């Protein structure tokens, strides 16, 4: 009887040890190399030096140009002008402009000022599958319609517009930004 039990235990042990779960598995292959991120540029992109922040009178000039263009096209816009830190200097909500655009226009302007580039750059990153930009700053707005204001080669603030499509918002902001060149 003892030999039957011993043989049964030996058979079970062999079955368990030869099962695939105990067999040695080959090491996993190395993950593929990450794709290049476009190469390494020689200079830092968007390296616009900071200048003296835009004042109220200059902000009113930017606002007037943007508003005139919006009226000419019959587009109801929210227009925000911010300083170099992205803080509000001047704001206007045109009659009938969507209420949601108030905060969006300010966010677009803040993004353009703080990152020294059009807010469209972040929109383009999302569109090409680079969602990491959303982890940079919870206030970042990745939508066209935020333009840095650059005067004499220095950043003095930004303008942001909201109320239409991203391209409509950008068209109005571009006119405002051209005032300070």
pLDDT computed for residue 97 by the predictor: 97
- Walk me through the domains of the chain, giving residue ranges and CATH numbers: 56-180 (3.30.450.150)
Closest CA relative to residue 12, chosen from 45, 66, 103, 4: 4
pLDDT computed for residue 150 by the predictor: 96
Tell me the C-alpha distance between 47 and 154, whole Å: 10
Q: Which residues of the chain have pLDDT under 50?
A: none
pLDDT computed for residue 130 by the predictor: 86
Model pTM score = 0.76
pLDDT computed for residue 119 by the predictor: 95
């Amino acid at each position: 009887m003892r030999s039957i039990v011993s043989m049964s235990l030996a058979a079970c042990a062999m079955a368990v040890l030869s099962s695939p779960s105990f067999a040695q598995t080959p090491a996993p292959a190395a993950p593929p190399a990450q794709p290049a991120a476009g190469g390494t540029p020689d200079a830092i992109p968007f390296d616009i030096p900071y200048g003296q922040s835009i004042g109220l009178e200059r902000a009113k000039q930017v606002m007037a140009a943007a508003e005139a263009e919006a009226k000419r096209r019959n587009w109801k816009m929210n227009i925000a002008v911010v300083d170099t830190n992205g803080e509000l200097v001047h704001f206007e909500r045109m009659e009938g402009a969507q209420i949601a655009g108030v905060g969006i226009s300010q966010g677009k302007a803040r993004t353009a000022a703080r990152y020294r580039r059009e807010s469209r750059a972040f929109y383009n990153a999302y569109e090409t599958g680079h969602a990491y930009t959303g982890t940079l700053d919870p206030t970042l707005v990745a939508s066209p319609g935020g333009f840095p204001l650059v005067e004499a080669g220095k950043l003095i603030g930004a303008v942001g517009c909201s109320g239409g499509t991203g391209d409509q918002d950008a068209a109005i902001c571009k006119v405002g930004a051209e005032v300070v060149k």
